[in-house]
Structure 1
Amino acid sequence: MREPARDLPAPEPDVPTTEPTATAATAAPAAAPATAPTGPRRGALAAVCVTVLAWASAFVGIRFVGRAYDPGALALGRLAVGTLALGALLARGRWVRPSGREWALLALCGVAWFAVYNVALNAAEQRVDAGTTAMLVNIGPILIALFAGVLLHEGFPRWLLIGAGVAFAGAVVIGASSAGGDPSDLLGTALCVVAAVTYAIGVLAQKPVLRRLPALQVTFLACAIGTVACLPFAGALGHDLAAAPWSATAGLVYLGLVPTALAFSTWAFALARMDAGRLGVTTYLVPPITVALSAVLLAEAPPALALLGGALCLAGVGLTRRR
């Protein structure tokens, strides 16, 4: 994982920014702004693609691994693997000492997004199918866009709100179609809402820290804090490791390496270069991909109505990219 600051064309590469166009404008002639942001923008979009694909696979992986691992044990095992992988990568990079305020935000992000989110999501997927869970959790970007407009002063661009509404409608259609008409378990639904809220809290806490700290360092610290918060499940993890089949344990390792270590790092990389609200809405692509993966890997064939929901999600994300 590269340090996010090195991809920027500004004259002071150690300072990350979320507005590469403005930076380029101050460092190049008048004709430069039209082309200077291309590199950073492409890098951020590539990072978003990796994150969306990895997080979609996580919903399917959790559904599979959850057959052999309890929610808390799965969360601890996944975060422990992710922390080790991120630590190995960070050993080759630079370290920026966090301030007291940054430590507080990192703690909030680690406990909310990495610990509580994972435990709630794992428990929800033992009661609700992967596609429906992905839809319910994706009310998080709505919360991110609204809270970011107020707390991070990102505003409420018209196309952001329009795209969010269209994409959320698509997520609802996917959830309704994948649920097969059966009423969802109320506890599972409530756990999905908890996961969505803690996801939004984590993103909003992470965004200010990424203005100064490298994305890889931020992800490692948040993941490590989440691991510590999940240590009460160590006994359950030891029991499940001894009893689980090798395929479930391999899935747990995958969840730690790809959807956690890799995807959270690419997310932080993109978040350092994009508005939190606009980036959050791109995760509306997760539900249609989750439904497709569930059909292939879990033999959960998506209904025809899910295709309409997927199209709405794609259209909504496209609308949020308009200026």
Structure 2
Amino acid sequence: MNVQVGAERTPDRTALAAAAITVFFWASAFVSIRSAGEHYSPGALALGRLATGALVLGIFWAARREGLPPRAAWPGIAWSGVLWFGLYFVALNWGEREVDAGTAAMLVNVGPILIALLGGRFLGEGLPRTLFAGLAVSFAGAVVVGFAVRGSGDASVLGVVLCLVAALTYAAGVVTQKPALRHATALQATFFGCLIGAVLTLPFAGVLVSEAAHAPVSATLNMVYLGVFPTALAFTTWAYALSRTTAGRMGATTYAVPAIVVLMAWAVLGELPTAAAVAGGVLCLAGVAISRRRSPARADG
């Protein structure tokens, strides 16, 4: 067992540091996906990232001799593997082929609202009225982003939809992983979740081999980077921190991701979201902030 009852209310400094590591590397993932996605299709990129992540995590899992997770942890690990490591990766990769990295990050980061909504319903973390107000504001922001990118063609609108699908599968993955962490270690939950995601994307193996033969080295290195750092490292530090606080509170730690992504994308890719997309993204994040407001009596979630 790796969760203490009191630890869910007040995360220790190590957990906060783990969350900070996650935020940084997840932000960098949006930029790497955007770059590698020019040469790798969504499914192939997901498989390459997951296979790399599973290999790295498997080495550490074997070295630490942690063994198999307890039976009670498997439902949560399996669902998070399918929803988060599998469907989320493919949806995000596809969405980032249609919209820039900064816009994608702002859309995906409506996830904390969905985490709070699902966590309140299924994990008993509460459903305050501010949650629904924030959901309405974020939905309005997503609509604004949709109109902002509409001038680029239907594919860009599709990108908005795919990023929102990614937000939903991300939220569902977090909420299903949370109960598993009452029984499994962070490494066990991450390794086996990643392994399940890799198995789920195996149908793209032939495409991955074909594209790898023609992709530039820089694109392949980006894919390997995604597997080692944003996946193997950052998902493990996320699980470690999640085991020590609520799902809703952990979701809120990703507020900083879009700002970091915009700066990274500008520096590395030379791209910036349009002013209208930024306005819509700010509305999305404002909705997240509203949803996380608590009255003094509900300040625990």
Offset, 1:156: 3.6
Give the equivalent residue in structure 1 for 2:204: 233
Higher relative contact order (CA 8 A, sep 6+): 2
Change (3 A) 1:184 1:131: farther
Question: 1:148-177 CA distances to partner (integer Å, 9 max, x unpaired)?
Answer: 011100114688x49967995997699589
What's the TM-score, normalizing by structure 1? 0.79
Q: How does 1:129-140 map to 2 (within 5 A)?
A: 129-140=100-111
1:53 to 3, 7, 24: 24
- Worse-superposed segment, 125-134 or 241-250: 125-134
Cα gap change, 1:193 to 1:317, in 2 (>3 Å): closer
Q: CA deviation at 1:308?
A: 11
Q: Answer with 183-192 or 114-123: which moved more.
A: 183-192
* 1:203 and 2:174 aligned: yes
Q: Report which stretch shifted further, 181-190 or 306-315.
A: 306-315
| CA contact 1:143–1:197 (8 Å) conserved in 2 | yes
CA 1:238/1:312 → structure 2, altered by over 3 Å: closer, same or farther?
closer
2:123 pairs with 1:123: no
Does 1:269 find its partner at 2:269? no
What letter corresponds to residue 288 of structure 1 in structure 2? A
Which of 244, 259, 264 is the equivalent residue of 1:288? Answer: 259
- The structure-2 alpha-carbon separation of the partners of 1:17 and 1:314, relative to structure 1 and needing over 3 Å to count, comes to farther
Task: Kindly state the Cα deviation for residue 302 of structure 1 after the two structures are TM-superposed.
Answer: 5.5
8 Å CA contact 1:110, 1:223 repeated in 2 = yes
Structure 2 distance, partners of 1:192, 1:92, is 36
| Percent identity (aligned) | 49
Greater alpha carbon shift after TM alignment, 98-107 vs 304-313? 304-313
**Deviation, structure 1 residue 314:** 9.3
Range with bigger deviation, 200-209 or 91-100 = 91-100
- Kindly indicate whether residue 10 of structure 2 is the aligned counterpart of residue 20 of structure 1: no
Residue equivalent to 1:71:
42
Counterpart in 2 of 1:9? none
Assess if the C-alpha contact under 8 Å between 2:145 and 2:160 holds in 1: no
CA contact (8 A) 1:174 1:287 kept: no
Structure 1 unaligned segments of length 5 or more: list them. Answer: 1-13, 23-36
Which letter maps to 1:280?
G
Runs of 5+ unmatched residues, structure 2: none
Greater Rg by CA: 1
Shift of 1:247: 0.5
Task: With the length of structure 2 as denominator, give the TM-score of the two structures.
Answer: 0.84
1:130 to partner: Cα distance: 1.0
Aligned-partner Cα distance in 2 for 1:147–1:57: 27
Give 1:300's aligned residue: 271
Deviation at 1:19, TM superposition (A): 2.8
Summarize the Cα distance change of 1:307–1:258 in structure 2 as closer, same or farther, 3 Å threshold: farther
**CA distances 1:71-129 after superposition (whole Å, capped 9, x unpaired):** 11100000000001111111232425434442222111111110111111111111111
Deviations for 1:235-267, whole angstroms, at most 9, x for unmatched residues?
A: 001011110000001111100011111110011
Structure 1 residue 145 corresponds to structure 2 residue 132: no
